[in-house]
Chains A and B, each alone.
Chain A
């Protein structure tokens, strides 16, 4: 498939994570718009509609990612959202977006655990954009 003209909103406060992902996504043919906070992402969403959003869980607050997922889905339920997090069972947090029930409250179509392999991210993106 061609990724030309598909725009991805990439939201993460780890500037190295988004810099690296942006470089790789652009190489794969996507147009990438970066935001380093929930606030900046919501401002960006006022002026554009991404084809897909990749959202980190912990931004300004530890649940900013959840709030942003809700915001995106409320604005346009057809935008696929991938929630990315490094906060998992090793830090005492357990949740997933693997089942319909989990996705219904997480408001994300998929969830990936950091460190994210780019090949895995690309596969998820292409599945969700089909």
Chain B
């Protein structure tokens, strides 16, 4: 059935992003987790689950997950606003290969929890004049997605290399993949693919939009190859 239903997200895509548009969508995105936590707290206050301690444990666990989503959403919005405002942090000579090793180490516990193996492939140092926090955001967001959308006991491969003066970061996963018809929307702010495989995965819908904006700042690019059921490869090219 086609209803011709359009939302603010569609309109901002068509008309270009406006401050009001992004504020309205951000407020909308905060409403769902905030309501969930509020209802959960009310259920606890009224002892709605009786003496079922496991139910309260579940409610508390879910509340903490939704609070973390809200916190991450706020951090992402601040980051997006910083990039859009053209505020640039200090540039330094950064070894992207070394930074990738640090990011992989940071995600070690999360990956192990799902029995996901992360491998780093480099051909030595990969230097670029860049902001360390911005390169970390790119690596964090891509590795985080590769773990979240992977299968249990899956694999993530992070490859960093240089070519013709550019640094190329490639993150490959063995996860659920992305359907061809969804490819267009994955880099759009607040856009999340909704299906039975993603329903339980938390996210802000801003991670890849931020990665794309940062790569544009470095005159670079981001591309994706994917096959549903067989994983995805995100390739970021950063010009030195």
Which A residues contact B (CB, under 8 angstroms)? 13-17, 19-20, 23-24, 27, 36-37, 39-40, 58-63, 66-67, 70, 86-87, 90-93, 114-115, 118
Chain B nearest Cβ from A118, distance in angstroms: 8
Q: Are A20 and B36 in contact (CB under 8 A)?
A: yes
Q: Are A58 and B194 in contact (CB under 8 A)?
A: yes
A-contacting residues, B28-56, CB 8 Å: 28, 31-36, 38-40, 43, 48-49, 55
Chain A nearest Cβ from B216, distance in angstroms: 26
Chain A nearest Cβ from B210, distance in angstroms: 21
Q: How many angstroms between the C-alpha atoms of A63 and B2 in the bound complex?
A: 8
Q: Residues of B within 8 Å of A, CB-based: how many? A: 36
Contact A16 B1, CB 8 Å, known A59-B194, A92-B6, A115-B31 = no
Q: How many angstroms between the C-alpha atoms of A36 and B36 in the bound complex?
A: 16
Which B residues contact A (CB, under 8 angstroms)? 1-3, 5-11, 24-25, 27-28, 31-36, 38-40, 43, 48-49, 55, 58-59, 62, 66, 194-196, 199-200
Q: Which residue of A lies closest to B62 (CB)?
A: A16
Q: Are B9 and A91 in contact (CB under 8 A)?
A: yes
Q: How many angstroms between the C-alpha atoms of A59 and B195 in the bound complex?
A: 8
A118 neighbours in B (Cβ, 8 Å): 39
Q: Are A60 and B6 in contact (CB under 8 A)?
A: no
Contact A67 B1, CB 8 Å, known A16-B40, A92-B11, A93-B7 = yes
Closest 7 CB pairs of A and B: A92-B8, A115-B35, A16-B36, A91-B8, A20-B39, A67-B1, A63-B3
Q: Which residue of A lies closest to B200 (CB)?
A: A15
Contact A60 B194, CB 8 Å, known A92-B6, A93-B6 = yes
Out of B1, B2, B27, which one reaches A90, CB within 8 Å? B27
Q: Are A39 and B38 in contact (CB under 8 A)?
A: no
Q: How many angstroms between the C-alpha atoms of A61 and B5 in the bound complex?
A: 11
A92 neighbours in B (Cβ, 8 Å): 6-8, 10-11, 24
Could you list 5 examples of A-B contacts with CB < 8 Å? Answer: A20-B36, A67-B1, A91-B7, A91-B24, A93-B7
